[in-house]
A and B are shown apart, each in its own frame.
Chain A
């Protein structure tokens, strides 16, 4: 068989999922936050991740982005990139971006500057010192400002934004990074009904182009975007399927309603 070898450091999802986690376990002082978890995400897929509080959803994102190193298991980005060997900036550079559960933007910088820092470009120290925005880069920031509805707030200090606007700004920063995989932790918390709808549209529009993993407790929102839903419980995958399949699964009902 003749296979074209991918260049080292480049994502190769030519055969198989773009992101896969196998038998991953993480424990904090003996408590298993992730327990032998396996998960496969395809290229361009939009996957929703649900589960009760403490199920391990955020911990899973921590493992993928290099914040937490698992005790056991393997985490691969494409066929070739072993994420456990990389640190956070290297993982970000490889093409995995993340929005945090608690919106974290740079409060002392303006909306525009927040996006500028996230911009996909060479993030080397000296290049950064002498960086000048090209017209093209300015345009891409303007475009994202439009998408996240903050064009009129571009020169505002990010700390002065509302909770919902901070969520949007963080999503905007994620878009600026142009990642291949986007991990989005609770994007609609604190948003109005309209804002939630726009977020749903935005995430749907990214399908095919990017792989997106969305963690959310708002079931109505999940229903409006989900193709495939994975349910996490006590650190492992409980079940996986369409929203309807999942919602009618007695084990899921048990987990959400029981004890």
Chain B
């Protein structure tokens, strides 16, 4: 009964979740059940690839909350993604133990290579999974809190805010490149072996990671949806449309922006953490300012301020990226730029907006056809 009501109220949400559930159950089945030579066999590569798309979908969802609903064009969302990824990467590095090239039970290979004698203090605790989980949430959340508090309290908005968020992710990019920082420098963290005692490269773990990613994406979508449907969600939308007016009815605009910014940063961090074991590496390029711009394009193409838009945009654009970069790598950036321009000019509400308008158009055509 409840499910039926729900379906009637928000068909798109139910379809989206059903699609995710089906994807993350059927694909692993196709991988685990069929033998390697069967045409129905889903390769481990495909499993990881889909897992990666779902991580991007979560990242797109997080930006849609901040940009689509609150109107903050944050161009540093990839910084939170990368920090979550590094936190997971540090855990995975510690799980290598003495199986590294240098066989040092305490220190990751890159530290041995740098002649470090002991583990830096900020690596303590990362051998524990629960600690890593805590950091995946806390580090991006805290950074977003401090940064957002300073920016929103001083009423930095619009282009200025976009620029300082780009500067933030760029500064982190430069910092993580440095070997002395202790995060593996240029090469980042890689050569992972185990997660929770299981081999990260095994089919079972890949399948489980994909399922977990799908479930977390659904949970994040539902959580975001209830935030948006709450009174806070309406205040946030009101801030996007008339920031000043919201202040004059007594809401502390900066705190509402901060809340949604931190919430989105935490989602981005979780996305990064899920991404790293599935792609097997995290390096400073994840902080690249260009990555943050790409997320904006996903959301714009999907349709901002819809929640589905961020998810669908991320998946479609990245699918196109996989196809195109395999085929004609040079044209990818041109294609992306062109798609962005076409969408902003012709589809201001993105693909979701297009879909929403379709059902209204069809009956009109039918009437015309009937009259002719």
| A residues at B contact (CB < 8 Å) | 65, 67, 87-89, 92-93, 97-98, 100, 104-109, 113, 116-118, 123, 125, 128-131, 173, 177
A117 to B232, CA, bound (A): 9
Kindly identify which residue among B232, B241, B246, B249 contacts A125, using a CB–CB cutoff of 8 Å: B232
Residues on A with beta carbons closer than 8 Å to the beta carbon of B259 = 125, 129
Closest to A173 in B: B249
Closest to A133 in B: B231
Contact of A125 with B256 at beta-carbon distance under 8 Å, contacts A93-B250, A108-B237 already known? yes
Contacting pair A109 B237 (CB below 8 A): yes
Q: Does B121 contact A (CB under 8 A)?
A: no
Residues on B with beta carbons closer than 8 Å to the beta carbon of A100 = 245
Dominant SS at the B interface?
Answer: helix
Residues on B with beta carbons closer than 8 Å to the beta carbon of A118 = 249
By the criterion of a CB under 8 Å from any partner CB, how many residues of chain B are at the interface? 23
Contact of A106 with B238 at beta-carbon distance under 8 Å, contacts A89-B250, A173-B249 already known? yes
Kindly identify which residue among A98, A107, A128 contacts B231, using a CB–CB cutoff of 8 Å: A128
Contacting pair B242 A123 (CB below 8 A): no
Kindly identify which residue among B230, B244, B251 contacts A129, using a CB–CB cutoff of 8 Å: B230
Query: 1/0 per position for B78-107, CB-CB distance to A under 8 A?
Result: 000000000000000000000000000000
Contacting pair B238 A109 (CB below 8 A): yes
Contacting pair B248 A98 (CB below 8 A): yes
Contacting pair A106 B250 (CB below 8 A): no
Contacting pair B230 A92 (CB below 8 A): no
Contact of A106 with B256 at beta-carbon distance under 8 Å, contacts A65-B248, A116-B234 already known? no
The 6 tightest CB contacts between A and B, nearest first, are A92-B250, A88-B247, A129-B232, A131-B231, A106-B238, A128-B232
Find residues 183-211 in chain B having any chain A CB closer than 8 Å to their own CB. none
| B residues at A contact (CB < 8 Å) | 227, 230-232, 234-235, 237-238, 241-242, 244-253, 255-256, 259
- How distant is A166 from chain B, measured CB to nearest CB, in Å? 12
Contacting pair B230 A131 (CB below 8 A): yes
Contact of A106 with B251 at beta-carbon distance under 8 Å, contacts A129-B230, A131-B230 already known? no
Contacting pair A107 B241 (CB below 8 A): yes
7 contacting pairs across A/B (C-beta < 8 A) = A92-B247, A92-B249, A109-B234, A117-B251, A125-B259, A129-B259, A130-B230
Contact of A177 with B237 at beta-carbon distance under 8 Å, contacts A106-B242, A125-B259, A129-B231 already known? no
A111 to B242, CA, bound (A): 15
Contact of A88 with B248 at beta-carbon distance under 8 Å, contacts A108-B237, A125-B255 already known? yes
Contact of A123 with B234 at beta-carbon distance under 8 Å, contacts A89-B247, A106-B245 already known? no
For the A-B complex with A123-B252, A125-B256 known, give 16 more contacts whose Cβ atoms are closer than 8 Å: A89-B247, A89-B248, A89-B251, A97-B248, A104-B245, A106-B238, A107-B242, A108-B237, A109-B234, A116-B234, A117-B238, A123-B250, A128-B235, A128-B251, A128-B256, A129-B259
Residues on B with beta carbons closer than 8 Å to the beta carbon of A108 = 237, 241
Residues on A with beta carbons closer than 8 Å to the beta carbon of B248 = 65, 67, 88-89, 92, 97-98
Closest to B227 in A: A129
A128 to B255, CA, bound (A): 11
Contacting pair A125 B252 (CB below 8 A): yes
A113 to B250, CA, bound (A): 16
Closest to B253 in A: A89
Contact of A104 with B230 at beta-carbon distance under 8 Å, contacts A117-B235, A117-B249 already known? no
Task: Among B227, B231, B237, B250, find the residue whose CB has the most chain A CB atoms closer than 10 A.
Answer: B250
A98 to B241, CA, bound (A): 18
Residues on A with beta carbons closer than 8 Å to the beta carbon of B253 = 89
- How distant is A216 from chain B, measured CB to nearest CB, in Å? 20
- How distant is A11 from chain B, measured CB to nearest CB, in Å? 15
- How distant is A158 from chain B, measured CB to nearest CB, in Å? 10
Residues on B with beta carbons closer than 8 Å to the beta carbon of A88 = 244, 247-248
Residues on A with beta carbons closer than 8 Å to the beta carbon of B256 = 125, 128
- How distant is A18 from chain B, measured CB to nearest CB, in Å? 18
Residues on A with beta carbons closer than 8 Å to the beta carbon of B235 = 117, 128
Residues on A with beta carbons closer than 8 Å to the beta carbon of B244 = 67, 88, 104
A128 to B239, CA, bound (A): 14
A67 to B249, CA, bound (A): 13
Kindly identify which residue among B231, B241, B242, B250 contacts A177, using a CB–CB cutoff of 8 Å: B250
- How distant is B349 from chain A, measured CB to nearest CB, in Å? 12
- How distant is A88 from chain B, measured CB to nearest CB, in Å? 4
Residues on A with beta carbons closer than 8 Å to the beta carbon of B230 = 128-131
Task: Among A67, A93, A108, find the residue whose CB has the most chain B CB atoms closer than 10 A.
Answer: A108
- How distant is B20 from chain A, measured CB to nearest CB, in Å? 25
- How distant is A25 from chain B, measured CB to nearest CB, in Å? 23
Contact of A123 with B232 at beta-carbon distance under 8 Å, contacts A106-B241, A109-B238 already known? no
A109 to B249, CA, bound (A): 15
A65 to B235, CA, bound (A): 20
Closest to B263 in A: A129
Contacting pair A116 B231 (CB below 8 A): yes
Task: Among A97, A116, A117, find the residue whose CB has the most chain B CB atoms closer than 10 A.
Answer: A117
A202 to B196, CA, bound (A): 68
Residues on A with beta carbons closer than 8 Å to the beta carbon of B237 = 106, 108-109
- How distant is B191 from chain A, measured CB to nearest CB, in Å? 42
A128 to B169, CA, bound (A): 31
A130 to B232, CA, bound (A): 8
Residues on B with beta carbons closer than 8 Å to the beta carbon of A98 = 248
Residues on B with beta carbons closer than 8 Å to the beta carbon of A97 = 248-249
A109 to B246, CA, bound (A): 13
Residues on A with beta carbons closer than 8 Å to the beta carbon of B255 = 125
